[in-house]
Amino acid sequence: MRARPLRTLEPDEISAFHRDGAVLARQVLPPEWVACVAEGLDEAIAAPDRMSEVLDRDLRVDQFPAARVPALRRIIDESPVAEIVATALRSPVRFYMDQLFHKPAGFIPPTPWHQDTSYYNIDGHDVIRAWVSPDRIPRNASLEVVRGSHRWNVTYSPLAGRDPDRDADAKQELESAEGETPMLGAEAHERWSYASGVIDKTLPWVPNIERHRDSYDILGWTFEPGDVLLFHGNILHSARGDVEMETPRRSHASLWAGRDVRYRHRPGQVIPDPVALYAHNPKTGQSLADFPDVFPLAFDPEGAVARR
């Protein structure tokens, strides 16, 4: 039985998510689930795996940590998070994948502005990210978004990957990735890094938001344990930094797919597909609902508790 949130999202919170592309739902995650997040993150951080990577200045990012850490899997299968995201999205939701982010105490580097869309082989408007942390995170080290950018109808180039104009092997991989063969196969789960992908240079580059902050409507929040930050999969976002913190910043970000999300082969794919999906040989345009064993229905706001 899935646990319930501390409270139901208010209509104005749901409206804010759809209008702005993000909303901070304050104090919706019960304390026992905040503790479960902390337990899962600490276990994963203590034992890096093949999908863990340390980036600039000790920023640690893990892909698919719930696949190996039971406490994080409980967040996906049993916690109120699925109900919270389905209520905000106004759609039944299926879990797609998750990530871990860890910035140790001390100097906290910023995360560059980016958009998640082009990193995955999925497409659609009903994509939502739930970002949770067991730590208090001040506004100057927390996530921020460009309000309304989820409705710009633009897919930006990922920031990660090899440049096909400078790397002959990358160029050949990009050219051979046409059709329905994913650029990153199942074997990528055994030897993955952000450099595994190839930049799709047909996509526009992310605008220099940081240099022209006054030209954009930027939202940000101070995050408290028990809050859940919800943001649209297509929105431009970053994490502030260039500050010293006495405590680490640990966070878990789960990605959920609503009714209209479909598989889309992307030649510049950066993150591998969920490993169980490869056996189905998915085609562009297929609904994720076509693969219920990989993406079971997690929560339906109209039908209450979902099948697993």
Could you tell me if 65 and 98 are in contact, meaning their C-beta atoms sit under 8 angstroms apart?
A: yes
User: In the predicted model, what is the mean pLDDT of residues 119-139?
Assistant: 96
Task: Select the CATH number that applies to the domain covering 11-305 from these four: 2.60.120.620, 3.40.47.10, 1.10.10.10, 1.10.287.70.
Answer: 2.60.120.620
pLDDT at residue 57 tops 80:
no
d(CA 101, CA 105) in angstroms, rounded, equals 13
pTM score, whole prediction: 0.94
Could you tell me if 120 and 201 are in contact, meaning their C-beta atoms sit under 8 angstroms apart?
A: no
238 beta partners: 144
d(CA 85, CA 280) in angstroms, rounded, equals 27
Task: Give the lowest-confidence range in 130-139, 177-186, 208-217, 228-237.
Answer: 177-186
d(CA 2, CA 82) in angstroms, rounded, equals 9
pLDDT at residue 307 tops 50:
no
Query: What pLDDT, on the 0 to 100 scale, is given for residue 196?
Result: 85
Q: How confident is the model at residue 304 (pLDDT cuts 50, 70, 90)?
A: low
Could you tell me if 295 and 306 are in contact, meaning their C-beta atoms sit under 8 angstroms apart?
A: no
Measured over the CA atoms of residue 127, residue 158, residue 143 and residue 217, the dihedral's sign is: negative
Q: Over the Cα atoms of the chain, what is R_g?
A: 18
Taking alpha carbons only, the member of 129, 125, 88, 121 closest to residue 291 is: 121
Taking alpha carbons only, the member of 13, 72, 39 closest to residue 227 is: 13
Q: What is the DSSP letter of 177?
A: T
Question: Rounded mean pLDDT of the chain?
Answer: 92
pLDDT at residue 177 tops 70:
no
User: In the predicted model, what is the mean pLDDT of residues 98-122?
Assistant: 92
